[in-house]
Structure 1
Amino acid sequence: MKALGPNKSPPNAIRTSERERVDDAAAIRLCRGGDGDAYRHLVERYQREAMGHALAILGNRQDAEDAVQDAFVDAYRALARFDEERRFYPWFYAILRNRCLKLMGSRRRHDSDALDDVGMLTREGAASVEEVVALEEALKKMLSESREVLMLRHLDGLSYKELAERLGIPIGTVMSRLFRARTELRAVLTTRPKKP
């Protein structure tokens, strides 16, 4: 075996600074080739977004953290079946969403812990403290499907087409769900007690 020298690395190795620039497809190819460390790129890139989406679905930080962690493990195990023609995050999101729905079904805690961290997801300066609190309270009372579609559309800024792709439903269904979700949110916000 030939020595590489003090400053040389194997031809297939990726230095830490280079790893940050590796795109998703390259990271997936490296993972499939046996470089388990390359998966860290995908986790680091999408963990915050995944946490926001899981929190929108579950409404509970601890459950969301569990779902995100489990979804990343599930996705890693399923990388051999990943179609490289697709983008990683929509594929991963389907895994995450299924994990969240399973968790909701097993725990049956729709109304337990509050959506504590919705404030973390709102754009800075977009609303007053009172408006953010009112929104958090309203979101807690909504169905998870309604909460999810609103968060994806209005916080993440996804288009109808992107929502359809992410949720795996037709655009017409996206529009119907958004209409129902906005109606539900409006009803919850208008029925809340007014402060004196």
Structure 2
Amino acid sequence: MSALRPDDEVIVSILGGDTEAFAELVRRYQRTACAVAASVLGDRHLAEDAAQEAFVVAFQHLADLNDHSAFPSWLIQISRRQALRLNTKRMPEQPLEGHTEPVTPGNDARLNEDALALLDRVMRLPEHERTVTMLHHFDGHSVQAVADMTGRPLGTVTKQLSRAYERLRRTIKEAPKS
């Protein structure tokens, strides 16, 4: 398996005319975009639609993104906006036929808020820690698979995950209680 290119390299390729490279960003952040949209919509199918729309918007406006390393947090904002837009189009309290499958953690607003807060904290990790955390926990790859995909030694990935967990623990402890 080839090593995972950093987001900024992929974005430079896309802006240079390699539009097919955008598929790499989609593969990398599809689950994240869906998770954000699902936290707003509470429906997996609608979340997939919102995430797809978010990627279209991101592609159309990629040249406007000045800091390429901010792509993940920028995509999260777009995904959330697309989900909110889709949510306002739905009739309130009327699930769409065939689109009633609930999304974990469910429709509990507090859990959705916590999930978004955690995702926001993950997106603030240094890129090397964020990448391995997203691949391992959000995309479900084994630590060995993450090492293979990123071209990093297994021990390095393990250490980066450990440091990421410690950073997340600290930020959660330091967060004001609501």
Q: Does 1:31 align with 2:14?
A: yes
Q: Compared with structure 1, are the counterparts of its residues 76 and 102 closer, same or farther at alpha carbon in structure 2 (3 Å cutoff)?
A: same
1:51 aligns with 34
- Residue 50 of structure 2 contacts residue 82 of structure 2 at CA under 8 Å; is this kept in 1? yes
- Residue 54 of structure 1 contacts residue 100 of structure 1 at CA under 8 Å; is this kept in 2? yes
Match 1:80 to one of 25, 40, 63: 63
Q: Compared with structure 1, are the counterparts of its residues 89 and 100 closer, same or farther at alpha carbon in structure 2 (3 Å cutoff)?
A: same
TM-score using structure 2 length: 0.60
CA distance in 2, matches of 1:105, 1:147: 21
CA distance in 2, matches of 1:94, 1:157: 10
2:115 aligns with 151
2:77 aligns with 94
Runs of 4+ in 1 over 4 A off after TM superposition: none
1:96 deviates by 0.7
Q: Does 1:104 align with 2:87?
A: yes
| Residues 52-78 of structure 1: CA deviation (Å, up to 9, x unaligned) | 121111101111010000000110000
In structure 1, the gaps of 5 or more residues are 1-16, 119-135, 163-174, 180-196
1:157 deviates by 7.9
Q: Which amino acid aligns with 2:88?
A: G
1:147 deviates by 4.4
Percent pairwise identity: 29
Taking only aligned residues, the RMSD between alpha carbons, in angstroms, comes to 2.9
Q: Which amino acid aligns with 1:25?
A: D
Q: Compared with structure 1, are the counterparts of its residues 74 and 85 closer, same or farther at alpha carbon in structure 2 (3 Å cutoff)?
A: closer
Find the residue that maps to 1:158 and give its secondary structure: helix
In structure 2, the gaps of 5 or more residues are 125-174
Q: Choose between structure 1 and 2: higher helix proportion.
A: 2
CA distance in 1, matches of 2:68, 2:9: 12
TM-score using structure 1 length: 0.55
Higher relative contact order (CA 8 A, sep 6+): 2
Find the residue that maps to 1:48 and give its secondary structure: helix
Instruction: From the CA coordinates, give the structure whose radius of gyration is larger.
Output: 1
Match 2:103 to one of 110, 113, 117: 117
Q: Compared with structure 1, are the counterparts of its residues 115 and 57 closer, same or farther at alpha carbon in structure 2 (3 Å cutoff)?
A: farther
CA distance in 1, matches of 2:101, 2:115: 12
Q: Does 1:67 align with 2:50?
A: yes
- Count matched residues: 126
CA distance in 1, matches of 2:25, 2:68: 17
